[in-house]
């Protein structure tokens, strides 16, 4: 809900400096068009999922989502994005969705729906892949130190080390 997001920002005396999308599932971009229009913030999103942002009703029939038709910088992983005084590394981490992105800056990983506290992203949705998801998480734990803070699309913060040590879905990575 764009209005709710903007009210939360106002209560925090903050502004929306940028909108970085991890993937194109409706629960992650339902407010995109209204928020971008209302704030004027630049938008970055996964290039490989652009069709979903532009035509959400084709992918999520029966769910009312306003298409995003505005300007966007398309990302595919490997780029660096400068926003709000931070430099974010853009990482391609498919599995939950085909072109899912994560963003890393200053010891913090914004994982979207790839990795959660004690869980991982679903792979039973269209275009999901358990093997790709596990490979993406393997790349993350091999690329960043265990103390890296992980902020997911749902739930509390965690660290890469805590998830590698205790997450039941990552037993293969501990073997």
- CB burial readout 83-117, b (16+ within 10 A) else e: beeeebbbbbbbbbbbbbbbbbbeebbbbbbbbbb
Look up the pTM and report it: 0.94
pLDDT tens per residue across all 175 residues of the chain: 899 999 999 999 999 999 999 999 999 999 999 999 999 999 999 999 999 999 999 999 999 999 999 999 999 999 999 999 999 999 999 999 999 999 999 999 999 999 999 999 999 988 899 999 999 999 999 999 999 999 999 999 999 999 999 999 999 998 7
Structure tokens at 90: 């853009």
Q: Provide CB contacts within 8 A for 11, sequence distance 6+.
A: none
Contact at 8 Å (CB) between 29 and 65?
Answer: yes
Handedness of CA 166, 172, 173, 174 (dihedral sign): positive
| Beta-bridge partner residues of 159 | 149
Tokens standing for residue 18: 């940028």
């Amino acid at each position: 809900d764009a209005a709710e997001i903007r009210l939360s920002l106002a209560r925090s005396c903050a502004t929306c400096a940028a909108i970085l999308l991890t993937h194109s599932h409706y629960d992650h971009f339902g407010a995109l068009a209204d928020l971008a229009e209302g704030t004027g913030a630049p938008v970055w999103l996964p290039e490989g999922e652009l069709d979903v942002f532009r035509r959400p009703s084709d992918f999520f029939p029966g769910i009312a989502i306003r298409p995003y038709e505005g300007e966007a910088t398309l990302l595919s992983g490997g780029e660096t994005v400068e926003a709000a005084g931070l430099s974010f590394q853009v990482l391609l981490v498919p599995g939950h969705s085909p072109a899912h992105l994560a963003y890393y800056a200053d010891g913090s990983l914004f994982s979207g729906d790839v990795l959660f506290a004690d869980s991982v992203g679903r792979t039973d949705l269209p275009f999901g892949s358990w093997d790709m998801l596990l490979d993406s998480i393997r790349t993350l734990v091999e690329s960043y130190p265990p103390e890296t803070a992980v902020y997911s699309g749902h739930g509390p913060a965690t660290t890469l080390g805590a998830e590698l040590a205790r997450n039941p879905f990552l037993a293969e990575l501990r073997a």
